[in-house]
Amino acid sequence: MHEPASREFPWLPVLAATAVGGALRFAGVLQEPWLDEIWSFGLARECQRAADVFALKSSNNHALNTLWIYLVGDRPGFVLYRLPAFLAGLACVPLAGWIAARQGRRAAVAAAWLVALSFLQVVFSSEARGYAPLVFFSLAAFECAWTWLDTGARRWLGGVWLAAVLGVLSQTLFAVGFGGIALAVAARIARDGRPRKLARLAVFASVPFVAFGGWWLVNVRHVFNAGAPAWSALDKLSATASSAFGFPDGHLPALVGTLLAAAVLAFDTRSLARRGDLTWVAQLGVVVLGSLATVVILHDEYFAERYFLVPLAFWLLGFARVLGRLAERTPAAAFFLFALFAAGNTRDLVPFLQVGRGEIGTLVRTLAERSSANPIVVTSNFDFSVRLLLGWHARSLPPGRAVRYVPQRELPPAGADFAVIQRALGPEAQTAIRLGGRRYQLVGTARHAGPSGADWALYRREPDGVVAPSPPSR
């Protein structure tokens, strides 16, 4: 145990970053929900009592998020469902600043602003899922663990335990990042001069071990992969790197961004190690080992940007420390690097805030405007996703109007009234398609921006005709 480093916390710049980060996140909160959120709503509706949430076997179930949706009840919109994610994501801004303040005021300011403007942190702090709480509880676990080692105060150990329990119930990947934190704690315990090292490490790990093991026994080992669209590991990792570090899309820009990010991590690690600060162990444990473990665990299932949010948050802390040290000697260079990061993330934030996760609700309301049928029969090329999205948005149709989804293989000879094609849309959507021998004409499109959402092209059945071959089913 040693005296903790004094922290001069720059309240005004951090509060300014929190305000900006809050505005960006709240703009996302007001957008339409996307598939995984509506899916979570459906899971919550299946539960007869609150305890049933913890027995759901779907990989889409983030227990605390689903529990919140269950407790809130059936609402017409998703703003209230998104409240825990919004608050957790917002709290990450000052918390990141507080953690970085161990290395000085400049690092604290940089950390707060980096987290506030991070595109991926903004996106996943504005949707009703467990990812923003996952990041918050990971940062909180690290801060509590480090303060416990500094002071020996048991309340901070209790904070670690609480963060571990709530973290793994927010999203199971919490256990992966916590492994890196535990590795750093073990390194500090091994280095200090206090006795009973193994006993102290066992006490630290006791509640998290029980929580992780209990959750695995009760839930995780029974969970099935709830399904995913066609995907490429290389494409997903490339998209993650580009979005995380603010680089343009594409494999080459993503590679350049990853190499530069690795250089930042190496510089931060070297600087911390030279000062004898074992924070570098946590950095490598969470950012490097945590990312590799995520790839190994999920390589047969599905990758997505959101699975790397905790490594990204810890990398941002390291980048903030680098900027803080650089600002002491060359403020212009530090500001230039920060501006590059901010500009790259703004490039992604602007379309996300303008377009969102897809204005599918507008297209669904078009159904009632363009057809007198009741119920309105709809089919698509992607049964699972379109059925869920259509079911949610059909709730906003005028009273007495209904929509019935029918898979292509079950369509009557007359076909459907409307057909939805869900896939990435180019600048111009196909103006006409053919499904089941019937011709459909384009009515409208809905596009999304960012890692969450879907593109839709809506078609209305027209008299028979010959058009280009129908798009492939999914």
Position of tokens 């595109």?
119
> Which of 36-45, 416-425, 426-435 is the least confident region?
426-435
Answer yes or no: is pLDDT of 193 > 60.
Answer: yes
Residues 347, 381, single domain; the answer is no
User: Is the alpha carbon torsion for 404, 406, 412, 415 positive or negative?
Assistant: positive
Rounded mean pLDDT, 286-294:
96
Residues 160, 241, single domain; the answer is yes
Rounded mean pLDDT, 130-146:
98
Answer yes or no: is pLDDT of 400 > 60.
Answer: yes
In the β-sheet with 456-462, what is the strand arrangement from edge to edge?
403-405, 376-380, 418-422, 456-462, 438-446, 432-435
pLDDT tens digit string along 291-326?
999 999 887 677 789 999 999 999 999 999 999 999
Contact 378, 403 (CB under 8 A): yes
At residue 180, the pLDDT reads 97
| Residue that wins the pLDDT comparison between 341 and 3 | 341
Answer yes or no: is pLDDT of 353 > 60.
Answer: yes
Asked if residue 472 belongs to a domain, the reply is no
Rounded to whole angstroms, how far apart are CA atoms 394 and 390? 6
Q: How many domains does the chain have?
A: 2
In the chain, what percentage of residues exceed pLDDT 90?
83
Residues 142, 22, single domain; the answer is yes
At residue 6, the pLDDT reads 63
Q: Quick one: three-class SS letters along 374-405?
A: CCEEEEECCHHHHHHHHHHHHHHCCCCCCEEE
pLDDT tens digit string along 53-87?
999 999 899 999 999 999 999 999 999 999 999 99
Answer yes or no: is pLDDT of 183 > 80.
Answer: yes
Residues 418, 337, single domain; the answer is no
pLDDT tens digit string along 112-137?
999 999 999 999 999 999 999 999 99
Rounded mean pLDDT, 256-263:
95
Rounded mean pLDDT, 90-104:
97
Given pLDDT bands bounded at 50, 70 and 90, which one contains residue 224? confident
Return the amino acid letter for 388.
Answer: L
Residues 184, 312, single domain; the answer is yes
At residue 96, the pLDDT reads 98
Given pLDDT bands bounded at 50, 70 and 90, which one contains residue 394? very high
Listed residues 337, 355, 373: the one ending a domain: 355
Asked if residue 208 belongs to a domain, the reply is yes
* DSSP secondary structure of 79-101: TTTTHHHHHHHHHHHHHHHHHHG
**Mean pLDDT, rounded, of the chain:** 92
Asked if residue 78 belongs to a domain, the reply is yes
Residues 251, 178, single domain; the answer is yes
Asked if residue 270 belongs to a domain, the reply is yes
* Tally of helices (H runs) and strands (E runs) in the chain: 18, 6
Greatest mean pLDDT among 239-243, 278-282, 469-473 lies in 278-282
Residues 306, 365, single domain; the answer is no
Asked if residue 85 belongs to a domain, the reply is yes
Asked if residue 128 belongs to a domain, the reply is yes
Residues 331, 447, single domain; the answer is no
Asked if residue 471 belongs to a domain, the reply is no
| Residue that wins the pLDDT comparison between 302 and 139 | 139
| Residue that wins the pLDDT comparison between 466 and 453 | 453
At residue 468, the pLDDT reads 47
At residue 466, the pLDDT reads 45
Residues 302, 368, single domain; the answer is no
Return the amino acid letter for 115.
Answer: V
Residue 306's domain comprises 11-355
Specify the pTM: 0.94
Listed residues 355, 381, 415: the one ending a domain: 355
Asked if residue 474 belongs to a domain, the reply is no
Given pLDDT bands bounded at 50, 70 and 90, which one contains residue 4? low
Residues 220, 262, single domain; the answer is yes
In the chain, what percentage of residues exceed pLDDT 70?
94
Listed residues 306, 333, 355: the one ending a domain: 355
At residue 8, the pLDDT reads 84
Centre a 10 Å sphere on the Cβ of residue 354 and count the other Cβ atoms it contains. 9
Answer yes or no: is pLDDT of 338 > 50.
Answer: yes
Residues 61, 163, single domain; the answer is yes
Centre a 10 Å sphere on the Cβ of residue 146 and count the other Cβ atoms it contains. 22
Given pLDDT bands bounded at 50, 70 and 90, which one contains residue 226? low
Rounded to whole angstroms, how far apart are CA atoms 155 and 375? 59
Residues 364, 241, single domain; the answer is no
